[in-house]
Structure 1
């Protein structure tokens, strides 16, 4: 699964790395963290609806938690809110990202977004991810770990 992560996204790689290393001893009891998941994919649908119909349907990560909870984790880089290689703000692109969020939420998914800069540096990302996953998984803070 690690190989499916984009090489140009250290933030996504660090999130995936942290989850697996912090939980190494209990991974079999935790929800899988699935990277690069498509909500729906079908060539016929793509032809009928056009190439942009699928743009908001790929999730950076999906977790299926107990009680039918479906959690989407997104790591947003500049491509979510800029154009021209990150040199200009793009409110239309940001609006498309937010429309994708709304669509997922209306389909019953919980969506959590991280800014790429929050996760780019592994050491700085650790406390943020530790607190997030402890709260998400409703468990006490982890003790010493293998990270």
Structure 2
């Protein structure tokens, strides 16, 4: 059965600690970590403009964007899958429902998670 954990720090994941030691990636926080059967790990991130801009969303900040994509690469090298959602996609409950009704079955099919 899948488990969805909110606001997980990467070093709490027993698999990462085993692979890299207890000091690995102490500052890496995930919005959500979805643990799937067979040790599959999926990171779900919700990004507002603060993830890629400065000045309260008015000016692009290439350093922030660079750090974000570098963190994604590091997670992928550690065998995590990363999926990002824009904050605006999740503003309205009807939009969220539609998005999740499409995304979750597709995600579960990809990772061969059965509904049984």
Return the TM-score normalized by structure 2: 0.79
Q: CA deviation at 1:73?
A: 0.3
Q: Which runs of 5+ in 1 are unaligned?
A: 1-29, 46-52, 140-147
**Greater Rg, structure 1 or structure 2?**
1
Instruction: Kindly provide the CA deviation profile for residues 6-44 of structure 1, in whole angstroms up to 9, marking residues without a partner as x.
Output: xxxxxxxxxxxxxxxxxxxxxxxx412110000027xxx
Distance 1:79 1:97 in 2: 11
Q: CA deviation at 1:122?
A: 1.0
Matched, 1:120 2:91: yes
Give RMSD over aligned pairs. Answer: 2.2
Number of aligned positions between the proteins: 101
Matched, 1:86 2:67: no
Return the TM-score normalized by structure 1: 0.63
Structure with bigger strand share is: 2
Instruction: Kindly provide the CA deviation profile for residues 75-121 of structure 1, in whole angstroms up to 9, marking residues without a partner as x.
Output: 01001110011121111101110011001000000000001101111
Structure with greater contact order relative to length (CA < 8 Å, sep ≥ 6): 1
What does 1:1-147 correspond to in 2, within 5 Å? Answer: 30-40=1-11, 54=27, 57-138=28-109
Q: Which runs of 5+ in 2 are unaligned?
A: 13-22
Runs of 4+ displaced beyond 6 Å: none
Distance 1:103 1:79 in 2: 21
Distance 2:77 2:36 in 1: 18
